[in-house]
């Protein structure tokens, strides 16, 4: 798959995707204009602005910022290539660096001293799965081998 970096909306890592009674941890980049990569016979997955609104994710594309909301809490990530410190890195080098977690002024007033201190409470309980949710290795391999298509629909 070939794409230009100007159609990347963001990159997400360690996202649990629930399918039936199991989940798969995924890493993916969110791209615009994916119709060219949609294979014949693959089902559609609604992804893009409707998805972002539903899961309360806000993006500021020019600044490379992605904010995820969880109730009254929120975390903001900055894509590595949009940070001045990494401007001299190649795309390949930037792809190996996870997004940068930002600390807001409100976080500082609440005693959060370093970025990943906030994540300890933000994702608490997210992966406390009931016994009927299991990790299915066969399905995980099938999904990660490119058998589904994720693209934005109008």
Contact 23, 4 (CB under 8 A): no
Q: Are the C-beta atoms of residues 77 and 63 closer than 8 Å to each other?
A: no
Nearest to 126 by CA among 32, 6, 16: 16
Percent pLDDT > 90 in the chain is 0
Token digits of residue 139 = 């399905």
Note the pTM of the prediction, 2 decimals: 0.42
Of 144, 142, 151, which Cα lies nearest the Cα of 15?
A: 144
* Residues facing residue 16 across a β-bridge: 25
pLDDT above 80: residue 131? no
């Amino acid at each position: 798959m070939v794409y230009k970096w100007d159609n990347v909306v963001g990159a997400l890592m360690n996202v649990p995707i629930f399918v039936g009674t199991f989940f798969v941890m995924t890493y993916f980049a969110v791209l615009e204009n994916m119709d060219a990569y949609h294979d014949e016979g693959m089902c559609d997955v609604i992804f893009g602005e409707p998805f972002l609104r539903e899961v309360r994710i806000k993006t500021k594309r020019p600044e490379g910022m992605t904010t995820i909301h969880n109730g009254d809490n929120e975390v903001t990530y900055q894509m590595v290539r949009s940070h001045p410190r990494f401007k001299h890195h190649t795309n390949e080098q930037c792809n190996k660096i996870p997004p940068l977690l930002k600390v807001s002024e409100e976080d500082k007033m609440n005693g959060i001293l370093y970025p990943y201190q906030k994540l300890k409470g933000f994702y608490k309980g997210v992966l406390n799965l009931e016994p009927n949710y299991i990790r299915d290795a066969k399905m995980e391999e099938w999904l990660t081998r490119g058998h589904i298509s994720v693209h934005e629909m109008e």
